[in-house]
Structure 1
Amino acid sequence: MPANSSNQKVSERLKNKILKDFVKRSRSNKTNNTAILLVHSPSLGIHWKTAANPDSNVIVNPDQPFHFASIGKTVTSVIISILFEKGLIDFEDKISKYLEDSILKGLHIYKGTEYSNDLKIKNLLNHTSGLPDYYTDKNKSGVRLLDLMISEPERFWTPIETINWAKQQLNAKFKPGKGFHYSDTNYELLGLIIENITGKTLSECLHEYIFEPLGMQHTFQIFHSEPALKSNFPMVDLYYKGVNLSKAKSISMSCASGGIVSTTEDMLKFHKAIVKHRIIRKETFEKMCDYAKMGPGIYYGYGIMNFRFMFMPEKYHIWGNSGSIGAFMYYNHAMDIYIIGSFHKLNYQVQPIFYIVNLLRKFNREIKK
């Protein structure tokens, strides 16, 4: 049997195994939300994708657009990096250089001392600012904005409103640069900084600097722009406690921190452009890899997460980003594999990582045959 024929059979066997496993996992999702997967490897010559829903009556398609949640932080960080390459900003700059006093005053108060003027751009990018997270941190009454997103779906939020919530309702966690605390507040501030530097809206910058150059025709910023080419498929629904959050005005509370709607194909273009240094230079990407320790084996750079799994070989390391709704966009350098998609389940960040590791194990076993 010719070698290429044998490899093709192995690939088909592996493809069926991976896609069937994903469908099985998605159909165990009690939320009845559609799950989408794209697995791509130029080196292995594969481009596999699927979509599934527990309800067989729901029509699904792997090219449906969906909300990428916090993966939008990667997009925001790339815009900051593009502005860095244009000489318009530096990662070491104080944020006070770009933001009004009305925003800075009272922004970062830790143990009675204000550190707002000490915050740097890089502190926002890799979550070392110490600023509280308006989205998941609880105020004195035990309320999170996440709770209001669900209980008040018709309320529209602006970045200024979410930042003010953090200022008025929450406390800073540590002095700037002295720890790690994941915070959407950081990225809403970065969105305002982008607008102040460019004199354009964040949505205009997204399209001008990223979506248009990369041909991401089905990608847009929810509530703020439209895709260059309307998809033939509806946006994936995201039900949680009976509320379809994909249609809720309240998800506007994630703007620069996670307001991107896209497809797996478009986000593959974006991720490949970073990997191949087509959107930002290699030297700039290396600066983005200024990692802060997020947890055991988990590191966060400028809008990118890096998993160096403990007790596992380096060949299983991945980098990219995750979203709180089970969204994922990761690249494995050792096997040259991109894995992009979403399980569409709120507060479902850890499980997709385990899924990706198991997927890579399957690839490794097949490659070794």
Structure 2
Amino acid sequence: MKLALISIIAFVVFAFGIFLVLELRALILPEFDVAKTTTLPEKLQSLGGWIDRLEQADKFNGAILIAQKGEIVFERYVGIADETGRPITPKTSFNLASVSKQFTAFAILLLAHEGRLSRDDLLTKHIPELKGADGVTVNHLLSHTSGLHDYALDHGLAKRLKEKDTVLTPADLIAWLGEADQGLKFHPGEKDEYSNTNYVLLAEIIARVSGQSFADFIHSHVFEPLGMRHSAVVNKAVNTDALEDRAYGFRKRFLYFGPNVAHDLNRMDGVAGDGNIYATARDLVIWDRALRDGALLPTEVYKQAYVPVRLKSGEVVQESVLGETIQPGLGWNVQDFPIVTSYGHWQAFSNFYWRNMQDDTVLVLLSNSGVFLRTAMIGEKIAGVLETLGDGK
């Protein structure tokens, strides 16, 4: 009996050790060091060689794009758009995951600018059936200071959806929030705690105030006027066939080994606003340009999105992510302003969106089969090179 127990413990320790080794190997990137004094063409050539090594090492699958002043200066498409092997192209649209939140926040700012709602509106003004959300405002939702539970982390909700063989809808989410055990985690404005629920409710507010579905509002007020032809709100209930070249998430069957298998949308994906906006890398360059130029909303108004979130006490919110201190704005990390960043992760999708508004440079990384931390590391590495673009000739 004792020997059997020792054998089991030894096997568990061995298996855990193998897992750690594989995890560390997944995060080890090829060396990439570019001198500050090299010219832009030389830096981009070095970057191309580095991405070749990432591809050879199976460290990246997706799209990488850099643009300056609205002009693309570097563009690479690596790997496949789904588990069948379909290649990624410039027209491949990726799930932006939490990068979607900036579009939702933009729509709220647009409606507020038009006088159709206020950031100080109570949530219950627009969704009166949410009786347990006393004191929560639109601004609390925008800033993740509402105290509302995060539906995406609730295993009980996921189990219920599986048992009923159904997909979560905004109505389901509102009903879930109304249950007795889903009261606020803290008084609104006293703390900050990231919750995807906030942005699903913002999408529902947009729909109710505008009289359009969230998907139709974003299409008619953002994508269509800007010519973002390969962008759409897509989930398991809406616009499932809207995109001509949609990326599907996939992974290895046995974590790091085996054939590719689907790892795409799940039962939580009948909602949007917190995620489930799809776009190509090129469309995100158009979006960057529109924000800089004030094409849809005056730049003076949109500056609200770059203001660090503050608690009711006046304290600026600071969060620690991967050892770095960040200050959230509305859909952006703004601690390095005028450089702003946005990250996204859901299922097999992981994204990195970096904008330097001082020298008019934008970096887009979109992956449909990536380790989130590794995608972020790749993005940060490239961003470090972009910050030196003006140092060469």
Q: Give the TM-score, by structure 2 length.
A: 0.74
Query: Which of the residues 43, 54, 64 maps onto 1:37?
Result: 64
Q: Which residue of structure 1 aligns with residue 204 of structure 2?
A: 192
Q: Which deviates more, 288-297 or 265-274?
A: 288-297
CA distance in 2, matches of 1:135, 1:26: 32
Q: Which residue of structure 2 aligns with residue 319 of structure 1?
A: 341
1:95 deviates by 1.5
Q: Which has the larger radius of gyration?
A: 2
Q: Which residue of structure 2 aligns with residue 358 of structure 1?
A: 381
CA distance in 2, matches of 1:263, 1:338: 14
The residue type paired with residue 34 of structure 1 is N
CA distance in 2, matches of 1:295, 1:288: 17
Query: Which of the residues 90, 102, 124 maps onto 2:118?
Result: 90
CA distance in 2, matches of 1:154, 1:305: 37
C-alpha contact (below 8 Å) 2:341/2:352 kept by paired residues: no
CA distance in 2, matches of 1:181, 1:199: 30
Alpha carbon RMSD of aligned pairs, Å?
Answer: 3.2
Q: Secondary structure at the match of 1:61?
A: coil
C-alpha contact (below 8 Å) 1:219/1:227 kept by paired residues: no
1:249 deviates by 5.4
The residue type paired with residue 51 of structure 2 is F
Q: Which residue of structure 2 aligns with residue 105 of structure 1?
A: 131
1:119 deviates by 0.7
C-alpha contact (below 8 Å) 1:303/1:321 kept by paired residues: no
Paired residues in the alignment total 330
Query: Which of the residues 234, 239, 243 maps onto 1:225?
Result: 239
The residue type paired with residue 237 of structure 1 is Y
1:336 deviates by 2.2
CA distance in 2, matches of 1:29, 1:162: 38
What aligned pairs does 1:1-369 form with structure 2 within 5 A after superposition?
10-25=39-54, 28-29=57-58, 34-42=61-69, 46-53=72-79, 59-100=87-128, 102=129, 104-106=130-132, 116-136=133-153, 138=154, 143=155, 155-168=166-179, 170=182, 172-222=184-234, 223-225=237-239, 231=244, 234-240=245-251, 242=253, 244-246=262-264, 248=265, 250=267, 252-292=269-309, 293-296=317-320, 297-308=325-336, 317-324=339-346, 325-345=349-369, 348=372, 350-369=373-392
Q: 1:26 to 1:144 in 2, by over 3 A?
A: farther
1:152 deviates by 8.6
Percent identity between the aligned chains? 21
Q: 1:18 to 1:318 in 2, by over 3 A?
A: farther
CA distance in 1, matches of 2:56, 2:187: 45
Q: Secondary structure at the match of 1:37?
A: strand
1:210-248 Cα shifts (integer Å, max 9, x gaps): 0111111111111423788x53xx3222114645243x4
C-alpha contact (below 8 Å) 2:150/2:196 kept by paired residues: yes
C-alpha contact (below 8 Å) 1:70/1:323 kept by paired residues: yes
CA distance in 2, matches of 1:152, 1:99: 28
1:2-29 Cα shifts (integer Å, max 9, x gaps): xxxxxxx933322222233234335545
1:145 deviates by 5.6
1:34 deviates by 3.0
CA distance in 2, matches of 1:155, 1:346: 27
CA distance in 2, matches of 1:70, 1:186: 12
C-alpha contact (below 8 Å) 1:219/1:263 kept by paired residues: yes
Q: Which deviates more, 53-62 or 357-366?
A: 53-62
1:70 deviates by 1.3
1:356 deviates by 2.9
C-alpha contact (below 8 Å) 1:134/1:184 kept by paired residues: yes
CA distance in 1, matches of 2:344, 2:231: 17
1:324-367 Cα shifts (integer Å, max 9, x gaps): 4321222022432111122334661x444433332233234453
C-alpha contact (below 8 Å) 1:217/1:227 kept by paired residues: no
C-alpha contact (below 8 Å) 1:126/1:290 kept by paired residues: no
- Structure 1: 5+ residue stretches without partners: 1-8, 107-115, 309-313
Q: 1:91 to 1:135 in 2, by over 3 A?
A: same
CA distance in 1, matches of 2:274, 2:164: 18
CA distance in 1, matches of 2:370, 2:73: 27
CA distance in 1, matches of 2:160, 2:247: 22
Q: Secondary structure at the match of 2:222?
A: helix
